[in-house]
């Protein structure tokens, strides 16, 4: 999973983009569907690199979002993502299956909704399978 260049943006350009370049006053973002690039100012937007996002666990630590996405991928057939607009109780029940030790006091329903939306967005564009292919290629090269 190559999440290091994927950025969640809030503000007028709300969504997930690939960071094409970094400027002192903002970022040049690439739309994942069209490939079009656009400048986003730090004055009008907040940027959250997905590789910096963590989910709190009940042991006082946190789990990287990439690990949560991996768990969601592994459970995709028997536990598909639910509608992000579902009730709080349903969101919590789903997330307990994905990450049983998440901290229920610090992980809010809005956080679960956001994770589900991000996962669905990235999975529909096959952006969550990059690491798997890289890992398989590395294993094949080691065997040779």
Judge whether 144 lies within some domain.
Answer: no
How many folded domains does the chain comprise? 2
46 confidence band (pLDDT: 50, 70, 90): very high
Residue 127 has pLDDT above 80, yes or no: yes
Judge whether 142 lies within some domain.
Answer: no
Judge whether 105 lies within some domain.
Answer: yes
Please indicate, yes or no, whether residues 34 and 57 belong to a single structural domain of this protein: no
Please indicate, yes or no, whether residues 20 and 73 belong to a single structural domain of this protein: no
- Closest listed residue to residue 92, CA positions, set 65, 73, 112, 106: 112
Residue 129 CB partners (closer than 8 Å, separation 6+): 1
Q: At what angle do helices 65-74 and 88-98 cross, to 10 degrees?
A: 90
Q: Tell me the mean pLDDT in the region 34-55.
A: 95
pTM to 2 decimal places: 0.84
Please indicate, yes or no, whether residues 106 and 128 belong to a single structural domain of this protein: yes
- Mean residue pLDDT of the chain comes to 89
Q: Which residue has the tokens 């919590």?
A: 92
pLDDT of residue 138: 46
Please indicate, yes or no, whether residues 125 and 62 belong to a single structural domain of this protein: yes
Identify the weakest region by mean pLDDT among 20-24, 75-79, 100-104, 127-131: 127-131
Please indicate, yes or no, whether residues 43 and 30 belong to a single structural domain of this protein: yes
Identify the weakest region by mean pLDDT among 22-31, 107-116, 124-133: 124-133
Q: Are strands 46-49 and 6-10 parallel, antiparallel or unpaired?
A: antiparallel
Q: Tell me the mean pLDDT in the region 78-91.
A: 95
Please indicate, yes or no, whether residues 64 and 81 belong to a single structural domain of this protein: yes
- Determine the structural domain holding residue 29 and report its residue range: 6-50
């Amino acid at each position: 999973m190559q999440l290091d260049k994927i950025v969640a943006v809030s503000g007028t350009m709300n969504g997930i983009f690939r960071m094409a370049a970094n400027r002192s006053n903002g970022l040049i973002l690439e739309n994942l569907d069209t490939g079009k690039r656009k400048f986003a100012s730090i004055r009008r937007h907040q940027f959250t690199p997905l590789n910096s996002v963590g989910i709190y666990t009940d042991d006082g630590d946190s789990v990287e979002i990439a690990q949560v996405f991996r768990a969601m991928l592994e459970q995709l057939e028997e536990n598909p993502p639910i509608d992000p607009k579902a009730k709080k109780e349903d969101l919590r029940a789903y997330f307990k299956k994905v990450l049983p030790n998440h901290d229920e006091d610090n992980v809010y329903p809005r956080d679960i909704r956001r994770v589900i939306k991000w996962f669905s967005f990235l999975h529909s564009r096959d952006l969550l399978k990059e690491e798997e292919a890289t890992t398989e290629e590395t294993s094949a090269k080691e065997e040779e």
